[in-house]
């Protein structure tokens, strides 16, 4: 499974034609205590870097952007009642949605983990 990151701190794990999306540990830490996640609707089609979902914390409200284009095929319903899971496990249990990938070549516009870690150092 390949994992990629966007400059807006989303991650995507690609497995075949499906893409699991969430926000990075860095983003979850920066946001502070997460109080609400507005999940996308199943069936929603979104283009790469378009708004996918939204997240609110005690500090701020932020959009979550789609790191790849595709169609939402599943959402993490756990986050509706326990959004703090994102703080506890942003890159595992705190995933936002699963998408059907429409263009695997789009990962060329993203960073791998080591590139992302270098990017974070530059912020």
**Extents of the domains making up the chain:** 2-103+111-121
pLDDT at 1: 75
Give just the sign of the alpha carbon dihedral 2, 19, 57, 54: positive
Distances, alpha carbon 97 to alpha carbons 1, 19, 43, 119, 123, in Å? 16, 8, 11, 24, 27
Span 45-68, pLDDT tens digits? 999 999 999 999 999 999 999 999
Could you tell me the two tokens for 93?
């249990």
Q: Please tell me the pTM assigned to this model.
A: 0.96
State which CATH number among 3.40.50.620, 2.40.110.10, 2.40.50.100, 3.40.1350.10 fits the domain covering 2-103+111-121: 2.40.50.100
Span 27-51, pLDDT tens digits? 999 999 999 999 999 999 999 999 9
CA distance 40 to 9: 18
pLDDT at 65: 98
């Amino acid at each position: 499974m390949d994992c990629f990151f966007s400059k807006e701190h989303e991650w995507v794990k690609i497995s075949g034609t499906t893409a699991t999306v969430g926000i990075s540990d860095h983003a979850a830490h920066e946001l502070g205590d997460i109080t609400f996640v507005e999940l996308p609707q199943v069936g929603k089609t979104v283009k790469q870097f378009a708004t996918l979902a939204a997240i609110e914390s005690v500090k701020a409200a932020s959009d979550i952007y789609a790191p790849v284009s595709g169609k939402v095929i599943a959402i993490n319903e756990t986050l509706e009642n326990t959004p703090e899971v994102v703080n506890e496990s942003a890159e595992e249990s705190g995933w936002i949605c699963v998408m059907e990938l429409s263009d695997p070549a789009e990962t060329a516009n993203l960073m791998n983990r080591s590139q992302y870690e270098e990017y974070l150092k530059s912020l």
